[in-house]
Chain A
Amino acid sequence: MSAGRRAIPALLLLLGLIAIWELYVEVKGSSFSTAILPAPHQVASALYDDRALLWSNFLVTAKEVLLGILLAAVLGAILSVAIHFSPTLRRAVYPLTVASQAVPVPILAPVLAFWLGFGLLPKLMVVALVSFFSVVVTTTAGLAAVDPDLVKLMRTFDASRLRTFRHIELPSALPGVFAGAKIAVAVSVIGAVLAEYMGSNSGLGYVILVSEPQLLVARAVAAVVILSLFAIALFALLGLIERLALPWVYRSPAEQAT
């Protein structure tokens, strides 16, 4: 089945939902559509009319998300390796890593803004923080799943611990890093938006924040549409990079049968 044909069910479902939405807003009347929920056609025209504004602010948010996820992947991978080698460190760090996920961004963002200002850096930290956990969990699981017999085999080959890590454990951990980053995509977009809410003068989160009070709800929803499309694209991009970088992880069903 081609990629185009596979997309048909999702597109049909989406069209159906948009139609229901359009009808619902139509029934509710114009005061509802300006203040609470705009109709899809209003969102579409906002997307077109405000395209320059949305695009320039999208670039800001996209940069925060991409760099934040990258940071989370690098730091998460490093921490996972450290945890893998030190059970004490695991016992010390793991509960705190879980706890860090429970800290609401609105509480955290002002502190980060106080320390790091209103630029890119505090947003990047928020995105990294909310994405970090899933990377650590999946990467640690990947490392723990390394066959102990492989480690024994390397010992009979006189491999040092470092070479065993490099040849066996590191490649085994990489799929976990990608899995964690993919899980983190949606939450990282939300993290970026919330961080922008808390203190910024650009980004799609900022657009949403300033559009709502001006009753430019259609523009705010247009920003949300862009964020959703961005999340899908980012997920697909990570999948693509993974396929190119780790081709052994994915095999076609025909190959698996042999």
Chain B
Amino acid sequence: MIEAPPEEPRELNAALDFVRVELVSRGFETRHGRVQALAGMSLHAAPREVVAVVGPSGCGKSTLLELICKLQKPDAGTIEAGPAALMPQRDLLLPWLSAIDNAALALRARGISRVQARSIAAPWLERFGLARFEHTRPAELSGGMRQRVSFLRTLLAGKPVLALDEPFAALDAITRQEMQGWLGRVLESEPRTVILVTHDVEEAVMLGDRVVVMSPRPGHTVSEIEVPLTRPRKRTDPAVVDLRERALTALGVQA
């Protein structure tokens, strides 16, 4: 399904492809007083490990990703992380750019010429099954295609760490399952250190090497679940079902 990479997006810095978050706290002043997003949050991801982070809505998951991407600074605690590229929750594709130019945005952001950026992105679009849609604008792409372009855009940033913020939350159930399978295969052939934030426990178990369960706000880790299963995984595999139930229990969800 996925062939050998046509070209590495960028040389990856092997020394800096882990994530270590130690007892991090982060709060915000709002009109309604102070909101503590994270309190004593710890998390680590080994090189090329996929860590899925699940938690209730508003538990500070997006704040965590922004901290890892160095878009914010923690109030307390330490964060060590390799260079990280964000994949935002909504695809945030630029409506005036074709699929290929959207995918190549990170390259253009570094000052690479349009022609060169396109020549780097083109083989990837083909690999992601988007060759026919190179010159299509996002408005005419399906939800699944848009997420693939969005993921490719983040991948082509060439960062060793990928911070994925609920990448498939906006998709319908069928497309979401397809995209989860797709992302699993891509990461198999294109391993990265991934922090995958999701509110979908099944998605976490299907994709993660480890599942970190967060508490409600102020967010911190309440449980870590190893997922010692080979890929590809099946949703119906008793081990997957069992791990999903364990994660739900850790979240405090009564089945």
Q: Report which of A152, A168, A255 forms a contact with B86, defined as CB distance below 8 A.
A: A152
Interface residues on B, range: 20 to 34
The answer to whether A157 touches B111 (Cβ under 8 A) is no
Q: Report which of B84, B105, B139 forms a contact with A255, defined as CB distance below 8 A.
A: B139
Quote the shortest CB–CB distance from B151 to chain A (angstroms). Answer: 13
The answer to whether A167 touches B88 (Cβ under 8 A) is no
Q: Report which of A152, A154, A258 forms a contact with B109, defined as CB distance below 8 A.
A: A154
Interface membership of chain A positions 145-158, coded 1 if the CB is closer than 8 angstroms to chain B and 0 otherwise: 00101101111111
Q: Report which of B92, B110, B137 forms a contact with A157, defined as CB distance below 8 A.
A: B110
Q: Report which of A147, A157, A164, A251 forms a contact with B85, defined as CB distance below 8 A.
A: A157
A258 and B140 CA atoms in complex are apart in Å by 7
Residues of chain B lying within 8 A (CB to CB) of residue A255:
139-140
In the complex, the chain B residue whose C-beta lies closest to that of A152 is B71
B16 at the interface (CB under 8 A from A): no
The answer to whether B96 touches A157 (Cβ under 8 A) is no
Q: In this complex, which of A147, A248, A255 has the most chain B Cβ atoms within 10 angstroms of its Cβ?
A: A248
A106 at the interface (CB under 8 A from B): no
The answer to whether A156 touches B139 (Cβ under 8 A) is no
Interface membership of chain A positions 231-258, coded 1 if the CB is closer than 8 angstroms to chain B and 0 otherwise: 0000000000000001010010001101
A157 and B137 CA atoms in complex are apart in Å by 21
The answer to whether A248 touches B110 (Cβ under 8 A) is no
The answer to whether B139 touches A167 (Cβ under 8 A) is no
Interface membership of chain A positions 163-190, coded 1 if the CB is closer than 8 angstroms to chain B and 0 otherwise: 1100110010000000000000000000
B94 at the interface (CB under 8 A from A): yes
Which residues, 80 to 107 on B, are CB-close (under 8 Å) to A?
Answer: 84-86, 88-90, 92, 94-96, 105-106
The answer to whether A152 touches B110 (Cβ under 8 A) is no
Q: Per DSSP, are chain B's interface residues mostly helix, strand or loop, or mixed?
A: loop
The answer to whether A163 touches B111 (Cβ under 8 A) is yes
A171 and B86 CA atoms in complex are apart in Å by 22
Residues of chain A lying within 8 A (CB to CB) of residue B110:
157-159
The answer to whether A155 touches B71 (Cβ under 8 A) is yes
What's the count of A-B pairs with C-beta under 8 Å? 60
Quote the shortest CB–CB distance from A142 to chain B (angstroms). Answer: 13
The answer to whether B96 touches A159 (Cβ under 8 A) is no
Quote the shortest CB–CB distance from B13 to chain A (angstroms). Answer: 13
Residues of chain B lying within 8 A (CB to CB) of residue A251:
139
A184 and B111 CA atoms in complex are apart in Å by 37
The answer to whether B140 touches A149 (Cβ under 8 A) is no
B12 at the interface (CB under 8 A from A): no
B66 at the interface (CB under 8 A from A): yes
A152 and B65 CA atoms in complex are apart in Å by 11
Q: Report which of A154, A163, A248 forms a contact with B139, defined as CB distance below 8 A.
A: A248
A25 and B175 CA atoms in complex are apart in Å by 69
The answer to whether A248 touches B140 (Cβ under 8 A) is no
A248 and B70 CA atoms in complex are apart in Å by 33
In the complex, the chain A residue whose C-beta lies closest to that of B139 is A251
B69 at the interface (CB under 8 A from A): yes
Q: Report which of A147, A152, A155, A157 forms a contact with B105, defined as CB distance below 8 A.
A: A157
B210 at the interface (CB under 8 A from A): no
B157 at the interface (CB under 8 A from A): yes
Interface membership of chain A positions 14-33, coded 1 if the CB is closer than 8 angstroms to chain B and 0 otherwise: 00000000000000000000
In the complex, the chain B residue whose C-beta lies closest to that of A159 is B109
Quote the shortest CB–CB distance from A174 to chain B (angstroms). Answer: 9
A183 and B69 CA atoms in complex are apart in Å by 42
A147 and B88 CA atoms in complex are apart in Å by 11
A-B contacts, 22 listed (Cβ < 8 Å):
A149-B90, A152-B66, A152-B71, A152-B86, A153-B86, A154-B109, A155-B69, A155-B71, A156-B70, A156-B86, A157-B105, A157-B109, A158-B109, A159-B110, A167-B94, A167-B105, A167-B108, A248-B95, A248-B139, A251-B139, A255-B139, A258-B140
Interface residues of B (CB under 8 A from A): 66, 69-71, 84-86, 88-90, 92, 94-96, 105-106, 108-111, 137, 139-140, 157, 159, 163
3 A-B pairs with the lowest CB-CB distances in the bound complex, closest first: A159-B109, A157-B109, A157-B106
